[in-house]
Structure 1
Amino acid sequence: MAAAATQGRLDRLIQELRDQYSKAVRNNPDTVAQIESAVRILSFLVAGRFENGEILSELIYSASNLIVFINDNVFKSASKYVSKVVDITKERIKKLLTVLEYTEVFLEMAAKKKWGTKGAWVVITVIQITKTVLRFYLLVKLDGGIGSTPSIQPVDREILKTSQEEEHDNLEDAWDEEAAYSAQEKTFTLESSGRQVRTLQASGQNGMRTWGVPESGTQSPQNNILNRKRKLLNQSASKLTKQRKWAEGLHIARPLAHLISMYISGLDSWKPWLLACGMDITSMCLMGESKDLNPKEKAELKRRSLMLLYYLMRSPFYDKYTKMRFMAVFRFIAQYVPLSGFIIRPLLEYLPTWQRMYFYVWTS
């Protein structure tokens, strides 16, 4: 009984702390955004400046992503524009995938520091197998459609409306009515054609005159854009054809196929590089035209196309062709652009670790 009572008090305390944190985040969105940016900038400043600075930098960077992820969930839970009716299983899998994607580089670096290269490869393999299984489950069993990286994207908080902002609705409505009334005063309608014409009193000064008819709608262009974005928040995934499922399956399997190929052929072989590049290109070709996909899926396919440029930074192509040119450009900038050396020189020292870790995670 005592243990149950203690557990109950602990649960209530955790819930109270969670509620207080959520309230603080909702009431101070600008401060929250500044803190998130500061933590992310700190991760870049730490890189290459201290012993074990690479691990510390990655820890801070992973923490900044997780903070943004947690705060996004707080804003979404309080927003009236986000649907509360969701597939719980699908949502939980996506959250787990997102956490793995934000922390996998740090976990790899920490494992290598603690257990050496073999330990790091064990961690990498476990993470990639877990992600592959979960993504295939989303694709095949839950019709998850085209997945993104990270699985839950950071949200544009401008389009979320919290309960605290409800009090502004009446003011906005009043402004809209006043704007519509003012527009009516500034125009008159021709009897013969029905065309609206601006009055002389509303013509304005010569230097600031516009020749269009004043807007008489009840929403500003900015509000129209926000409303269009809000409609996309709850948009479901597109139903994929069999060909597109094969394409998405190739994209999901590519990281694990790359790891297996590296294990068989070795780290310096071209075979893993060619296999992964071929799977990516084949996947993009099988996807075909994206006209019938929703905007989020179109953006994801565009991102994947741009990420093909990452192959320029992946070994062995990087070691043979890109490295010397890349280093020469940054050394030139550090030498001749004032104050740039303060940022670029530590990054150049960190670049080998960054290239080795980030471009072997293969989540992009």
Structure 2
Amino acid sequence: MADHKPLSSKLPHALTLPPKWLSLYGNFITTHQSSVTQIESALRSLTYIIPGRFRDAELASESLHSSIQLLSMYHDTLLTRAISKLPGMPKHQSPHNRYTKFWIQKSKFYRRVATLLSIVQYTELLWEMTAKRKGERIRWRVVVVLEVVKAICRLFLLKITNLRPLVTPALPEREVIAEEEPVPEIEDEEAQLEAELEGRSPSPQRKEYRMKRTGLSLPDIPNPGDISSYLLSKVLTADDIKAPSALLNKVSGSAQLAEVLHIIQPVVYAIAMSRSRDKKDWQPWLLGLSIEYAARQLRKDGLRTTPLEKEQWNKRGWAMGWWAMRGAFYENVTKGFLHSTSQRLPGLISGVLDDYLYLWDGYYFSTSSN
């Protein structure tokens, strides 16, 4: 007779399988980063090309897009952990990543709040689409609740970082891990020997030299015509040696008020839009834009900006361009221009633009920049 093991003896083994699978999956992602990134980009581009081509499948399209974004965020977490285990510091680490990694390592609460904020941002349009099927009233309730949740997360981040300006995104961005490639020493020697026999000069080979005793590798010799760029890449700047927390200055006075206004502005605008019965009413649009403009004016003289602050300042400036796609300005100005332009474009381009017009006409979060 076959030996049947009791169910209780199989449970411990079954419980160890998911961690093993996750570990194998994590190793695959870290060792095939370039391939995974290409696949993510291809899938993300596909969802951009057909955002609403099938009106009844808008939920499926947005679900796919949100799933890709959430999966990419998980991959970023795996790659960040892998980089943290590498010996030494990454050669080129952006100030944004240095700053966000510092707070993630220092505060578990920052990591949880930043993760929640990112998840809400990636899924907010999907929530709005789902709520709209139950009526406009439910839809606007969901929109306001999501804006309130994001505002609370940002206020927590402002508090955790000791009143330092918010950064976008709140989590570190993906960094490149150098994938190991075998050094074709035999092939290189054969190629050089063949070139000598044919009487031509062998092509220069850039090989990695690995020391036998220590196992450490020496860097490649730079191109003689590009010595300056090579040396500049090895020079440390002031921001490279500055403490991560010092990459952003603390806000105080009018700058602190400006940061709070920037955080609560989407909530005020969403509430005003939910109470407005006419899409062409200018009052909500003027109210939201006025708060955002006041925040920018108050903050201008409130800080001695660092490079990271200038970068975030420029992002917020470009984000203000989305006000041309919102509320009364879109309904009274932009919408007519885009619809008339769509009729004059070739069929394929016109079809893609019409899909986006379908989203811009009917959904609040399709033009949200916060």
User: Alpha carbons of 1:357 and 1:170: their partners in 2 closer, same or farther (altered >3 Å)?
Assistant: farther
Any unmatched runs of 5+ in structure 1? 184-209, 336-340
Partner of 2:153: 134
Partner of 1:93: 113
> Which structure is richer in relative contact order (CA contacts within 8 A, separation 6 or more)?
2
Q: Give the counterpart of 2:253 among 242, 245, 250.
A: 242
The answer to whether the 8 Å contact 1:313/1:355 transfers is no
1:284 Cα deviation after fit: 0.8
- In the alignment, the residues of structure 2 paired with residue 250 and residue 126 of structure 1 have an alpha-carbon distance, to the nearest angstrom, of 18
- In the alignment, the residues of structure 1 paired with residue 285 and residue 131 of structure 2 have an alpha-carbon distance, to the nearest angstrom, of 24
Q: Give the counterpart of 1:344 among 332, 350, 368.
A: 350
- In the alignment, the residues of structure 1 paired with residue 317 and residue 12 of structure 2 have an alpha-carbon distance, to the nearest angstrom, of 51
1:112 Cα deviation after fit: 1.7
Instruction: Tell me the secondary structure at the aligned position of residue 136 of structure 2.
Output: helix
1:56 aligns with 2:76: no
1:30 Cα deviation after fit: 1.4
1:102 Cα deviation after fit: 0.8
1:291 Cα deviation after fit: 7.2
- In the alignment, the residues of structure 1 paired with residue 273 and residue 17 of structure 2 have an alpha-carbon distance, to the nearest angstrom, of 49
User: Alpha carbons of 1:289 and 1:57: their partners in 2 closer, same or farther (altered >3 Å)?
Assistant: farther
Letter in 2 for 1:252: I
Partner of 1:281: 293
1:253 Cα deviation after fit: 0.3
Instruction: Tell me the secondary structure at the aligned position of residue 105 of structure 2.
Output: coil
User: Alpha carbons of 1:261 and 1:47: their partners in 2 closer, same or farther (altered >3 Å)?
Assistant: closer
Partner of 2:32: 28
Aligned length: 318
Letter in 2 for 1:256: V
The answer to whether the 8 Å contact 1:97/1:131 transfers is yes
Partner of 2:305: 293
Give TM-score, length-normalised by structure 1: 0.74
> What do you get for the CA RMSD once the two structures are aligned?
3.6
Partner of 1:111: 131
1:255 aligns with 2:275: no
1:309 aligns with 2:315: no
Any unmatched runs of 5+ in structure 2? 1-5, 90-100, 184-207
Partner of 1:78: 82
Q: How does 1:108-257 map to 2 (within 5 A)?
A: 108-113=128-133, 115-143=134-162, 145-152=164-171, 154-155=173-174, 157-158=175-176, 160=177, 174-176=218-220, 178-179=221-222, 215=227, 219=230, 221-222=232-233, 234=244, 237-257=248-268
1:107 Cα deviation after fit: 1.1
Partner of 1:322: 334
User: Alpha carbons of 1:35 and 1:258: their partners in 2 closer, same or farther (altered >3 Å)?
Assistant: same
User: Alpha carbons of 1:297 and 1:216: their partners in 2 closer, same or farther (altered >3 Å)?
Assistant: closer
Give TM-score, length-normalised by structure 2: 0.73
Partner of 2:193: none
The answer to whether the 8 Å contact 1:47/1:57 transfers is yes
Letter in 2 for 1:326: L
Letter in 2 for 1:238: N
Partner of 2:192: none
1:169 Cα deviation after fit: 9.2
- In the alignment, the residues of structure 2 paired with residue 348 and residue 95 of structure 1 have an alpha-carbon distance, to the nearest angstrom, of 33
Q: Per-residue CA shift, 1:191-250, capped at 9, x if unaligned?
A: xxxxxxxxxxxxxxxxxxx7xxx7389x5555669x999779955543112221111100
User: Alpha carbons of 1:224 and 1:353: their partners in 2 closer, same or farther (altered >3 Å)?
Assistant: same
The answer to whether the 8 Å contact 2:253/2:302 transfers is no
Identity rate, percent: 24
User: Alpha carbons of 1:74 and 1:325: their partners in 2 closer, same or farther (altered >3 Å)?
Assistant: same
- In the alignment, the residues of structure 1 paired with residue 76 and residue 109 of structure 2 have an alpha-carbon distance, to the nearest angstrom, of 19
Q: Per-residue CA shift, 1:84-112, capped at 9, x if unaligned?
A: 83211111100110111111111111222
- In the alignment, the residues of structure 2 paired with residue 224 and residue 161 of structure 1 have an alpha-carbon distance, to the nearest angstrom, of 21
Letter in 1 for 2:110: K
User: Alpha carbons of 1:253 and 1:7: their partners in 2 closer, same or farther (altered >3 Å)?
Assistant: farther
Please say which of residues 67-76 and 96-105 is displaced more in the overlay: 67-76
Letter in 1 for 2:348: F
Partner of 2:3: none
- In the alignment, the residues of structure 1 paired with residue 7 and residue 367 of structure 2 have an alpha-carbon distance, to the nearest angstrom, of 44
Instruction: Tell me the secondary structure at the aligned position of residue 12 of structure 1.
Output: helix
1:279 Cα deviation after fit: 0.6
Q: Per-residue CA shift, 1:166-188, capped at 9, x if unaligned?
A: x9795995345x55xx97xxxxx
The answer to whether the 8 Å contact 2:269/2:287 transfers is yes
Q: Per-residue CA shift, 1:322-351, capped at 9, x if unaligned?
A: 12222333433x23xxxxx32431431441
- In the alignment, the residues of structure 2 paired with residue 130 and residue 359 of structure 1 have an alpha-carbon distance, to the nearest angstrom, of 14
- In the alignment, the residues of structure 1 paired with residue 266 and residue 9 of structure 2 have an alpha-carbon distance, to the nearest angstrom, of 47
